């Protein structure tokens, strides 16, 4: 007998039939004798619609009210799944973040979980009840509802698994595991039986949406066994299907490159002809940091005339706030022009093997050159190389790289 947290994403609970299927899946685990807690996302499309409504009313909307609106999607799913479970004879109860409570910090829209009180849920699980918990949300020290950033239900599930001392956290989604790249754009992508926390963390942080970055970080730190698997496939679940996220030393055959990810969530910003003197970068990035705008890739090139072009990327959702901040700074530091381009994509190759193998970046540049794809910005870390390209070449680039690194399935 095990204690399992089962998490179901948006497509897995997209309509009443899917919710009934989830209820049956939960019932099977209960019948096998396991204690089960469930974490659910909003029904697919719901969160996008709620976010759209906030943006339509005001691009610079109040983050506390954004959270009030977008947290509602998950509440609906918890109630519906609890009803579906009760209907098939499984004792179940819905839980919102504030009821447990799932305590977070005050960073509305991208809050971090600080603590979860698990005792009451454990007591109920031991008594045979299935808690159905809203993912994505928590409660701030101020008492207001918070959300954890897009894809945050994964993080709710891993944090809950840690708080409940669960043996496993099963993340059910619309693909049957973690692949060498997004199987929706590369049909030749290969499923990985295991992936290391580190590589999964890096892949998630550069755009592989299959797990939210913070969920992998938490799993690594709290030693939670995470498995990614499909809610659309039936068959016996012996704990071996899907992809297991594990410590690096549990992986026998290490690839140089384990995966390729892309992100269309970033926008490029160029400040043209910025004075080339000390303190400019501190002013620009300081101003952005103050408004909680995270900057990702950065390049700077000094020209002979004492000015420099400063190019960087940031989340598309942050662009209106960044433009407001930089506009206010223009007269203070003096630059010629502020250009923004949302039509970019970041393509990244990730692998722990890069630590010990040379030429990984070069393979990337060559493969992109062969397809005549221009590289706008480059950044690297110990186990990753990322490039920024025009968004229209995303699929072409990912497929070319997947082949270039020998990742294509036979």
What is the DSSP secondary structure assignment for residue 332, as one 8-state letter? H
How many other C-beta atoms lie within 10 A of the C-beta of residue 79?
15
Q: Please tell me the number of Cα atoms within 13 Å of 350 on its side-chain side.
A: 24
Pick one of 97, 118, 135, 242: the residue that binds ligand ASP (CB under 6 A): 135
Q: How far apart are CA 286 and CA 212, in angstroms?
A: 26
CB 205, CB 217: distance < 8 Å: no
Near ligand ASP by CB under 6 A: residue from 4, 5, 10, 251: 10
Query: Which is nearer to ligand ASP, 9 or 242 (by Cβ)?
Result: 9
Q: Does 178 bind ligand ADP (CB under 6 A)?
A: yes
**Binder among 70, 175, 347, 367 for ligand ADP (CB under 6 A):** 175
Q: Applying CB under 5 A, does 151 fall inside the site for Mg ion?
A: yes
What torsion do the CA atoms of 244, 125, 19, 8 make, to the nearest 10 degrees?
-30
Helix (H/G/I), strand (E/B), else coil: 246: strand
Query: Residue 207 interacts with ligand ASP (CB under 6 A)?
Result: no
User: How far apart (Å, rounded) are the C-alpha atoms in residues 103 and 116?
Assistant: 6
**How far out from the chain centre does Cα 46 lie?**
17
DSSP 62-84: -HHHHHHHHTHHHHHHHHHHHHH
Q: Are 378 and 386 in contact (CB under 8 A)?
A: yes
User: Binding of Mg ion at residue 73 (CB under 5 A)?
Assistant: no
> Which residue in 97, 109, 138, 152 binds ligand ASP (CB under 6 A)?
152
Number of residues that bind ligand ASP (CB under 6 A): 13
> H helices within 172-279, ranges in order?
197-205, 213-222
- The SS3 call for residue 202 is helix
202 lines the binding site for ligand ADP (CB under 6 A) = no
Of 22, 71, 157, 208, the residue at the interface with ligand ADP (CB under 6 A) is 208
Determine which residue in the list 174, 237, 276, 408 makes contact with ligand ADP, applying CB under 6 A: 174
Out of ligand ASP, Mg ion, ligand ADP, none, what residue 118 binds, judged by CB under 5 to 8 A for its kind, is: none
Pattern of binders to ligand ADP over 92-121, x per CB under 6 A? ------------------------------
Tokens of 362: 């070069």
Enumerate residues 340-379 that contact ligand ADP by CB under 6 A. none
Least spacing, CB of residue 189 vs ligand ASP, in Å: 22
Nearer to ligand ASP by Cβ, of 150 and 384: the residue is 150
Among 147, 173, 311, 394, binds ligand ADP (CB under 6 A): 173
Q: Is residue 41 close enough to count as binding ligand ASP by CB under 6 A?
A: yes
Vertex 114 angle, CA 101 and 286, to 5°: 135
Residues making contact with ligand ASP (CB under 6 A)? 9-10, 41-42, 47, 73, 135-136, 150-154
């Amino acid at each position: 007998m095990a204690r399992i947290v089962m998490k179901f994403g948006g497509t897995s609970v997209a309509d009443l039939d899917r919710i009934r299927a989830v209820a049956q899946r939960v019932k099977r685990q209960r019948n096998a004798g396991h204690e089960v807690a469930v974490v659910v996302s909003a029904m697919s499309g719901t969160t996008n619609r709620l976010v759209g409504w906030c943006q339509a009313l005001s691009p610079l909307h109040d983050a506390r009210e954004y959270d009030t609106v977008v947290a509602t999607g998950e509440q609906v799913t918890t109630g519906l799944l609890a009803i579906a479970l009760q209907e098939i004879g499984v004792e179940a109860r819905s839980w919102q973040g504030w009821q447990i409570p799932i305590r977070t910090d005050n960073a509305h829209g991208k809050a971090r979980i600080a603590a979860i009180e698990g005792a009451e849920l454990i007591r109920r699980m031991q008594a045979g009840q299935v808690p159905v918990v809203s993912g994505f949300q928590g409660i701030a020290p101020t008492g207001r509802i918070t959300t954890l950033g897009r894809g945050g239900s994964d993080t709710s599930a891993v944090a809950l698994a840690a708080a409940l001392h669960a043996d496993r956290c099963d993340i059910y989604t619309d693909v049957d595991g973690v692949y060498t790249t997004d199987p929706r754009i590369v049909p030749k992508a290969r499923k990985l039986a295991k992936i290391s926390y580190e590589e999964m963390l890096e892949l998630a942080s550069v755009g592989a949406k299959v797990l939210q970055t913070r969920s992998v970080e938490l799993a690594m730190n709290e030693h939670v066994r995470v498995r990614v698997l499909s809610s659309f496939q039936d068959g016996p679940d012996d704990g071996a299907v899907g992809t297991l996220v594990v410590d690096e030393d549990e992986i026998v055959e290490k690839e140089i490159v384990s995966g390729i990810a892309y992100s269309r969530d970033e926008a490029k910003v160029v400040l043209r002809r910025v004075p080339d003197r000390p303190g400019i970068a501190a002013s620009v990035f300081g101003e952005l940091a103050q408004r909680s705008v995270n900057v990702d890739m950065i390049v700077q090139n000094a020209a002979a005339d004492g000015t420099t072009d400063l190019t960087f990327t940031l989340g598309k959702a942050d662009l209106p706030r960044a433009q407001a901040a930089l506009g206010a700074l223009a007269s203070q530091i003096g630059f010629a022009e502020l250009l923004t381009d949302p039509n970019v994509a970041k393509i990244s190759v990730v692998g722990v093997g890069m630590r010990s193998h040379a030429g990984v970046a070069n393979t990337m540049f060559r493969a992109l050159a062969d397809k005549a794809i221009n590289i706008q910005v480059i950044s690297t870390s110990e186990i990753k190389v990322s490039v920024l390209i025009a968004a229209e070449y995303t699929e072409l680039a990912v497929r070319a790289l997947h082949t270039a690194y020998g990742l294509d399935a036979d």
